[in-house]
Amino acid sequence: MGAAKFEITRKCKICGEPFVAKTITSWYCSPRCSKVAFKRRKDEEKRNERLDVIAKSIPKDQEYITIPEAYSMFGISKETLYRLIRKGVIPSVKVGQRQTRVSKETLMEMYPLRKSLLKKQPKPIPKLYSLESKDCYTIQQACEKFSSFERATIAYLRTGDYADRGRSVQ
Ligand SMILES: [Zn+2]
């Protein structure tokens, strides 16, 4: 990282001791504190992974979820959930003698999903046609290639996407 002229006294994020930061990204006073920070990050990742597993195992059509399930989805503490139940903000049901379940839909309206759930959502966008230059006609090439009717269509579609037998207009 860019070192050299940067020098500032910071408080170590782990032990709280002041130290002279050698780079902009120095946050810990010693290798020992860096190690602690690294371990905490790893533990946090593992914790998130465990919660993600719980959250992902909840059936999509399940209307009422348990308190631990609600925590796994939204990271809302048990205390907060019970307070909201008491206030009548979140609809809840009793299952058996002890288990309380809360409305998933209401929570979805009130809270965002936990961060690690959001960023791990796979988003492969299927490529229906290629927009690489080698697979495209220029407008001019397309006009030479197609009849006047098609030329008119292409002119109309100039600003949008146009695909024909796997080829597109650039
Ligand atoms: Zn430290």
Is residue 43 scored above 50 in pLDDT? yes
pLDDT at site 13: 95
In a domain, 144, yes or no: yes
From ligand 1's centre to the CA of 13, what distance in Å?
7
Q: How far apart are the first and last CA of the chain?
A: 41
Confidence of residue 149 (pLDDT cuts 50, 70, 90): low
In a domain, 124, yes or no: no
Residues 106 and 64 in one domain: yes
Count the domains in the chain.
3
d(CA 99, CA 122): 33
From ligand 1's centre to the CA of 27, what distance in Å?
8
In a domain, 159, yes or no: yes
Residues 112 and 68 in one domain: yes
In a domain, 146, yes or no: yes
Is residue 160 scored above 70 in pLDDT? no
Residues 137 and 110 in one domain: no
From ligand 1's centre to the CA of 33, what distance in Å?
5
From ligand 1's centre to the CA of 77, what distance in Å?
30
Residues 73 and 22 in one domain: no
Helix 67-74 / helix 78-86 crossing angle, nearest 10 deg:
110
Query: Quick one: DSSP state of residue 128?
Result: S
* Longest distance between any two alpha carbons in the chain, whole Å: 77
Residues 71 and 27 in one domain: no
In a domain, 30, yes or no: yes
pLDDT at site 129: 72
From ligand 1's centre to the CA of 9, what distance in Å?
13
List, for residues 47-100, the tens digit of each pLDDT value: 999 999 999 999 999 999 999 999 999 999 999 999 999 999 999 999 988 899
Is residue 164 scored above 80 in pLDDT? no
In a domain, 70, yes or no: yes
Residues 67 and 115 in one domain: yes
Residues 115 and 141 in one domain: no
Share of the chain above pLDDT 70, in %: 79
From ligand 1's centre to the CA of 10, what distance in Å?
10
In a domain, 50, yes or no: no
Residues 115 and 142 in one domain: no
In a domain, 106, yes or no: yes
Query: In terms of pLDDT, which residue wins out, 143 or 39?
Result: 39
Share of the chain above pLDDT 90, in %: 56
Please give the residue range of the domain that contains residue 75: 58-119
From ligand 1's centre to the CA of 49, what distance in Å?
28
Is residue 32 scored above 50 in pLDDT? yes
Amino acid at 164: D
Residues 73 and 106 in one domain: yes
